[in-house]
Amino acid sequence: MRNRVRYSLLALGLVGSTATFADCKDLDVKGAWSRATAPVVNVGAVYFDLTNTTSQAVTLIGGSTPVSDTVELHRREMKNGMMGMRHMHAVKVAAGQKLEFQPGKYHVMLIGLKHPLKAEQVFPLSLQCADGSQRKIEVLVHKIMQ
């Protein structure tokens, strides 16, 4: 029965139609920030509040920035009593859902920093969604000690 419904939707062109995708660039991203890094450190993290104000789910898969070689989505989690972080290859954000990228939760990991991040510096970051769309944001670097 379920299959039959799916097939009829396919016949109508309602499944897999690009018209039903929410575009990553329509995501509401506020207050993007990062911390200044010491010269010996070659990784950084970016935090922000992300809200999917569109009517469709979106799936974040990573990103890119001129300040580092690689950008990954990470989540803090306990493993064997130790706090670690996990590389998330896909983070789905439901329509209307707010996701906090902040210390202790999700963060965008910058791996292979090309230069130390300096306080007051602003750098661009593109968040990549599974459908190929991107959300470009600007990240403000804060001092190391808050």
**Residue nearer to Cu ion on the CB measure, 67 or 109:** 109
Show the tokens assigned to 42.
Answer: 């070659």
The single residue listed with the structure tokens 């950084």 is: 44
Q: Is 35 in the site for Cu ion (CB under 5 A)?
A: no
What whole-number distance in Å separates Cα of residue 25 and Cα of residue 29? 10
**Residue whose Cβ sits closest to Cu ion:** 74
Q: Is 111 in the site for Cu ion (CB under 5 A)?
A: no
In a 3-state reduction of DSSP, which class is residue 9?
Answer: helix
Choice from 58, 67, 73, 109 touching Cu ion (CB under 5 A): 109
Tell me which stretch binds Cu ion (CB under 5 A): 54-62, 73-81, 97-105, 118-126. 73-81
Q: Is 74 in the site for Cu ion (CB under 5 A)?
A: yes
**Considering the complex, what minimum distance in angstroms separates the CB of residue 71 from Cu ion?**
11
**Residue nearer to Cu ion on the CB measure, 21 or 68:** 68
Q: Is 85 in the site for Cu ion (CB under 5 A)?
A: yes
DSSP secondary structure string for all residues of 15-69: SS-GGGPPPGGG-EEEEEEEE---TT--EEEEEEEEE--SSS-EEEEEEE-TTEE
Q: Are 103 and 44 in contact (CB under 8 A)?
A: no
**Residue nearer to Cu ion on the CB measure, 22 or 67:** 67
The single residue listed with the structure tokens 């707010």 is: 98
For Cu ion, the binding residues (CB under 5 A) are 74, 85, 109
